[in-house]
Amino acid sequence: MNTVLFGPLGLGPADFAQLLGHFTLLSLLAIGGAITTAPDMQRFVVGQQGWLSDAQFSASVALAQAAPGPNVLFVAVIGYNVGGLVGVLATLAGTLLPSSLLTLHATRWGERQRESRLLRAFTTGLAPLTLGLLVATSWILFEPAAQRLGSALLAALTLAIMLRTKWSPLVPIGIGALAGALGWAG
């Protein structure tokens, strides 16, 4: 079997259908972007299916987030690591198609209803929900690294810098890259 096309795990059609179905469902729950559903992606591909380890999942997300381009690329990297190019197709189609179609229709409806008090209340209420989902995502992605003292201290330093200064987020990213290159974050 071709590992580039189907991945190293040798998944079958039922597995790919399950992957597509799960990412399709998550697409409809992705309030605040696909990254907010990363905790459930991790639960599914790591905890439930055992297709990836925690470290592989975190590395997939980190690699995609470090690359230039849209943030949703992490879904393609997860798909590739699970099921090769067919996995990429399953995760991207599941993530992009339903939410894009729903967004298109909701935007058209929202434009017609923009003065509605109910619509304004709904959109205002989405802000804390999105924030909570992002915090859950951060927790899932940080958990494997938190067991190493250097990584935990680096994360605490980053949080302190971001809360106490108006520095660009690139400053703590640069500090983290330097610490990792010097072997301090391991």
Q: Is 110 left (phi over 0), alpha (psi -120 to 50) or beta?
A: alpha
Query: Average pLDDT for residues 153-173, to the nearest whole number?
Result: 80
Q: Is residue 181 pLDDT above 60, yes or no?
A: yes
Across the chain, mean pLDDT equals: 84
CB-based contact 150:179 (threshold 8 Å)? yes
Instruction: Give residues with Cβ within 8 angstroms of 141, minimum separation 6.
Output: 38, 58, 61, 62
More confident position, 152 or 98: 98
Query: Average pLDDT for residues 151-163, to the nearest whole number?
Result: 78
How far apart CA 174 and CA 170 sit, in angstroms, is: 6
pLDDT tier at 40, thresholds 50, 70, 90: very high
User: Tell me, what's the pLDDT at 110?
Assistant: 84
* Residue whose C-alpha is closest to residue 73's, from 158, 6, 54, 81: 81
User: Tell me, what's the pLDDT at 6?
Assistant: 77
- Tokens representing 41 are 């992606």
Q: Is residue 13 pLDDT above 80, yes or no?
A: yes
CB-based contact 113:100 (threshold 8 Å)? no
Interval 135-149: pLDDT, tens: 787 777 777 766 677
pLDDT tier at 178, thresholds 50, 70, 90: confident
Q: How far is CA 111 from CA 46, 108, 119, in A?
A: 40, 5, 10
Interval 17-39: pLDDT, tens: 999 999 999 998 887 788 889 99
Q: Is residue 175 pLDDT above 90, yes or no?
A: no
Q: What is the DSSP string of 63-100?
A: HHHHSSS-TTHHHHHHHHHHHHHHHHHHHHHHHHHHHH
